[in-house]
Homo-oligomer: A and B are copies of this chain.
Amino acid sequence: MDSERFQKQIAFSMECDKMKTIYRNTLLADGSRRETDAEHSWHIALMATLLQEYAPQGISCDHTVQLCLAHDLVEIYAGDTFAYDTEGYKSKTVREAAAADKLFAILPQDQCKSYRALWDEFETCKTPDAVFANCCDRFQPVLNNMATDGHTWKLNHVHRGQVEARLHLIQENMPELWPVCTDMLDTAVSSGWLTE
């Protein structure tokens, strides 16, 4: 064993433990607290496997799972940017690229490249796997919002059109899920969880 290499891998794994301290806006389905990035990443990796039959053509479920597991790692330094935070989104790209440089540099060079490639692929969202992973990333918080009376939508005065814009990726790439999405949004509007 190359012990310097191993020490870098362990240092990276321990740094990744901080994903358990980054809280998202989304509540757990039972409403008891906000979910962490580690929990969210686990959940969408599970969903990518569970819902693969609705995925875009030509996906690799295994590679999508890798994208899901790694997609939010940069938030260890950049923090979570709420999906409907217009100001935060302006600086998101720059903040997250700097975070990626810092975080993946902990790894041995070959793994630094492969983790960076996973994150770039997810962010660029051009491959079928990245599209599928991004769809899961957008679908899961909708389900948790529906389970918690629209908690984060109400808190942030979110409009239906904003959610629809974010779910457009699902409409285009996982069309079977779209009627389910519009049904949920209808319920959310009629319940006063989303504004029209």
Contact = CB atoms under 8 A, between A and B. Distances in A.
A45 B69 contact: yes
Contacts of A143: 10, 13-14
Given A38-B38, A42-B41, A49 B69 contact: yes
A10 B136 CA distance: 12
Interface magnitude class on chain A: 35 or more
Interface in A12-39: 12-14, 16-21, 28-30, 32, 35-36, 38-39
Contacts of A38: 38-39, 42-43
B65 A39 contact: no
A19 B42 contact: yes
A21 to B, nearest CB: 6
